[in-house]
Chain A
Amino acid sequence: MTNTEKNIPKEDGPAKKKVAPSLALTLKEFKDCADLIYRSLPDLALEMVFFDHLTGSEEFTREIAIPFGSAEEQDVPQLLERSQFTEITDSDALIKKILNGSVALFFHEKCYAIHVYKPESRTIQESESEVVITGPHDSFVETATLNLSLIRRRVKSSRLKVIKCEVGEITKTDVYILYIDGLANMEYVQEFIKRVELIELDAIHDANMLVQCIDDDPNSIFPQFPTTERTDAAVSKLVAGRIVAIVDGSPSVISAPASFFEFFSSPDDYYQRWALGTATRLLRFAAFIVTITFTALYVSVTTFHYEMVPEDLLLTLTESRSRVPFPPIYEALLLEVTIELLREAGARLPTKIGQTIGIVGGIVIGQAAVQAGLTSNILIIAVASSAIASFVIPSYMMSASIRLARFGLIILAGLLGNFGLMLGLALMVIHLSGLTSLKSSYLTPIAPIHLKDWRDTFIRAPFWMLKERPSQSKTSNKVKNKMRQ
């Protein structure tokens, strides 16, 4: 919301005077760029400037080396007439072209550019952060064009539209905004483009960074747009009438608008039998409740509400607590922080060392902490199960946010018991109700209510029941299997 008011687009100033491109000017501009290649073909009176790491050698050979290699000087103008060569009359434009992987050709006084961009790219691999068991295993890579091709291959429709924007004052990162014409609501598309264009940052390194610049509420701890590395997930969002944005240099793509509950669904849900998919989804919501309340409830019960413990548990609980010298809230926070440390350490370290961390951490937490009387073993169960539960949530961003919110609830529960817990939950619900994603309610389909959407939110109903696209995308083609002509 604030972005729109805060960021007034910077004008390019009074239109710059166009300067005719010349070799000398170009070389001057790229002074001290050791990676710039300059080739001269004196027999053809042709000179070339390019970055060989941006251009594909195959393309270079095909488009330049072969035709010009066998040509005479008088053939050159004819060759340059070919459509792939464009004549450039502006020096700035030429520099931009070169930076984008074109080869600049200087022939007499004229200047041409040919696009032979083929950057080195990581091969398409399986996503490490979003693993699925069944379903497509390819995931996006850092090259936007490759990502585009991955999507195009899955959506063979001329209605898949791509809009290109540029973000980052220095980096000039390409952002491609994708939508399916006739399915996506154009208001969302306009709004999205507007927000992307209004970003005023010198560099955007990743889609997850871009997301924070276009959030409705940047102060919220909850992500308002999901990002995914999975191609099938991105395509399913497109088909649902949402917008997808690809950021060059990032293997994640953004989808918008989104609701809170969307973060709990994973593409696998659709590849399993519907009963299984439903069970998994319900499990995730149960995991959500466990994550945010379990430890807090332990703290609240042991600090304030001893009467809630059933008789059979009472003695074991008291026994394990009686060795611990601090109040339950310190105990719980200590253990929670330790688990977070372990998680963070595991994420930073290479896989081989990461395993060691797991083992050391497991022993330290599982055994030594209890024996040393630092924590009670029932708390370990509570903390561990809520930590595990938090990892069940498919979106890493959401699971991290929920874990953070949990700390607040633990503190509230430790200070005010169940009342504090409820206060915290109320605060969370109020905050979530106020959130919007591209100005659409974050809590759809609960508020505003759309009972039909529940079939694909809380459960995963069989496909014959999922006849309509989600209401949040406000699509003009509600019914699936149909495209209005």
Chain B
Amino acid sequence: MNEKLHPFHIMILIYMNQTGVVIMSLPHLLAENFGYNGWLGVILISLVVNLNIFIISIVYRLGKGKSIFQIMESSLPRVITFPIYMILIGVWSMTGCMVIKNYVYIYQIMSYNTTHAMLLKLLIDIIAYLLIIKGIYTISKAATSFFWITSWMLLLQLFFIKDFEWARLTPFLFKGDTHFLTGGFIVFTAFLGYELCFMLFPYADNPKKFIKSVYKGNLITTLTYLIFCLICFGFYSFEQIRNMMYPLLDLLSYIRLPFIERIENLLFGFFLFTTIVSVVLYSWSAQETFARIVPKANKKVLAFIILTFGYIVAWFPDTLSEVGQWLQYLGYAELGVAFGLPLLLILILVIHKGAKPS
């Protein structure tokens, strides 16, 4: 793997990893937890994400671009690193598979209601496997292609200008029945995915621009979320959003073109691309971690084991709400990883006075 990732591709990777089907229910979550004008909550959460990226950037600077595994292994005994790695593998591989299952279940609300969900999931798994085994450079290339294929969807917002009314937004800010803390956590999980940038340390092409591109990736995510949520809040009435499970899905179904209508089905299909990138990145990270435990193993086999493990775990939750629950808990775990791991690394680096020359 001698090819390095251009900052632009890192930005796209971060963005594509962050966005996913969560965006479908995001306006609902915001309305439920942040009250009136909850769409502005996106900015608050994004600021926290930026803080976290800042912490990660300290690791990057102190570690001088060394991979997190090198940093950990240079000072921690194997007894400690092993369980950490196992936790990481578990969280990442399960997150990856739950994201797929969530996607499939939401799709099944619309179509293929009686097809076995795990069969559909298996299909996505195969596609994801094909991408994982090609390595991070190809993943980033595929992510960029997927980005261009899906980016035009932002233009769909133009359809809603006619029915958008500022009056529906109300002047109330974060009023009503609010749950800032629990809601904040829930909404935060929609932003997860940026933390995997610490897996990309060794692949950065331009060390100066690396962290900047992570910020940029998060910025694009924030803007996308902000625009979609703003449209939702001005298009639907507040109480209505609180009652809708997937406001964005309904929003998409409102689009009508002269030759085709009800394209939410097709558009949701496009979200498969962002989903695949998320899954692939999580599974790839798990695979890289796994490779640290068994360095001699073939990476293809490791990827296979990780996806199979995820697939088996994905049998357990049986309903959409259970999958949501699982994702929630995994999100909390991931949150812990996102903040905990960099802090641990900083601790190590500070104690050892920066990275030792390797």
Contacts and interface: CB of A to CB of B under 8 A. Distances in A.
* Contact, chains A and B (beta carbon distance below 8 A): yes
A305 B111 contact: yes
Contacts of A308: 260-263, 265-266
A432 B259 CA distance: 30
A434 interface: yes
Interface in A401-456: 416-419, 421-423, 425-427, 429-434, 441, 443, 446-449
Nearest to B261: A310
A419 B263 CA distance: 12
B127 A423 contact: yes
Contact of B273 (A418, A426, A431, A448): A426
A297 to B, nearest CB: 8
B140 A430 contact: no
Interface string B136-158: 00101110111011000000000
Nearest to A307: B262
B contact residues, range: 35 or more
Contacts of A429: 142, 145-146, 149, 273
Contact of B269 (A309, A422, A432, A433): A422
Given A426-B276, A433-B138, A310 B6 contact: no
A304 B144 CA distance: 30
B160 interface: no
Contacts of A446: 144-145, 148
Interface residues of A, number: 29
Given A419-B269, A423-B124, A433 B262 contact: no
A36 to B, nearest CB: 55
Contact of B260 (A310, A431, A433): A310
Interface in B239-261: 256-261
A33 interface: no
B141 A448 contact: yes
A41 interface: no
A158 to B, nearest CB: 35
A313 interface: yes
Given A308-B266, A448-B6, A430 B259 contact: no
A434 B6 CA distance: 17
Contacts of B142: 429-430, 433-434, 447
B54 interface: no
Contact of A416 (B112, B127, B257): B112
A431 B131 CA distance: 8
B105 to A, nearest CB: 13
Contact of B272 (A309, A423, A433): A423
A37 B272 CA distance: 71
Contacts of B263: 308
Interface string B116-141: 00001001100100110010001011
B34 to A, nearest CB: 32
A446 B140 CA distance: 11
Interface in A297-343: 304-305, 307-310, 313
B343 to A, nearest CB: 33
B9 interface: yes
9 contacts: A418-B265, A418-B266, A423-B272, A425-B149, A433-B134, A434-B141, A443-B144, A446-B148, A447-B141
Interface of A: 304-305, 307-310, 313, 416-419, 421-423, 425-427, 429-434, 441, 443, 446-449
Given A304-B111, A308-B260, A422-B270, 16 more contacts: A307-B262, A308-B266, A309-B260, A310-B261, A419-B269, A425-B149, A427-B130, A429-B146, A433-B138, A433-B142, A443-B144, A446-B145, A448-B6, A449-B6, A449-B8, A449-B9
